[in-house]
Chain A
């Protein structure tokens, strides 16, 4: 099956610094990628939809200036957490849609996640 990678797998940063997380579709092109965050023992909450070549669509309550998303190519989306604070510590998971055939059928593949700890 298709593979989605994330880098780094874990990162520790100091409060006030910015952190960039990469999401790559390794063997397919993804016009649409998604970013989720997951707090301990909780479900995945969709943060934003990342569209190649256009601005990301953010879910209600997600600060677009704090969580910058760039989808510069068909295989790469990045999430930058700006001016990180301890409350941003979380598990961030990306996913990518792979179109199946010529219709509107998609398969969604998830990355392994990135654990961010802000001290």
Chain B
């Protein structure tokens, strides 16, 4: 079955420091991987995706993610964290085996950036 795991419930980082939010995946076939961010009482905002091509994917708001096939990981990174980056982050995999292309989400990681 398609799944993603986010091993950390929470990540704390000081403003200006680099941040990493971890994600590992388990898929049949080629993975379609995504990162989304959610602010309180808001829907999801798309950050970036990996479908094919370069392993380093650049996305919105200075975020990037590195696809690592051997480690089945897709960690989200940012070189310098901002307080405004504090939010809930979801890694997701799209199940393309079915015609409807369902998206399956990880449990989420809450990022706290301290000033």
Contacts and interface: CB of A to CB of B under 8 A. Distances in A.
Interface string B15-51: 0000000000000000000001000011111100000
A60 to B, nearest CB: 12
Interface in B68-115: 90, 94, 96, 100-108, 110
A49 B101 CA distance: 10
Contacts of B90: 43-44
A108 B103 contact: yes
Is the contact region of chain B dominated by helix, strand, or loop, or is it mixed? Answer: strand
A32 B101 contact: yes
B101 A108 contact: yes
Interface string A40-67: 0111101001010000010000000000
B41 A115 contact: yes
Contact of B100 (A57, A91, A112): A57
A47 B103 CA distance: 11
A32 B102 CA distance: 10
Given A93-B43, A104-B96, 7 more contacts: A34-B100, A43-B90, A46-B102, A49-B102, A91-B41, A108-B103, A115-B41
Interface of A: 6, 32, 34, 41-44, 46, 49, 51, 57, 91, 93, 95, 97, 104, 106, 108-113, 115
Interface of B: 36, 41-46, 90, 94, 96, 100-108, 110
13 contacts: A34-B100, A34-B102, A34-B103, A43-B90, A43-B108, A44-B90, A46-B103, A49-B102, A95-B44, A104-B96, A108-B101, A110-B36, A113-B42
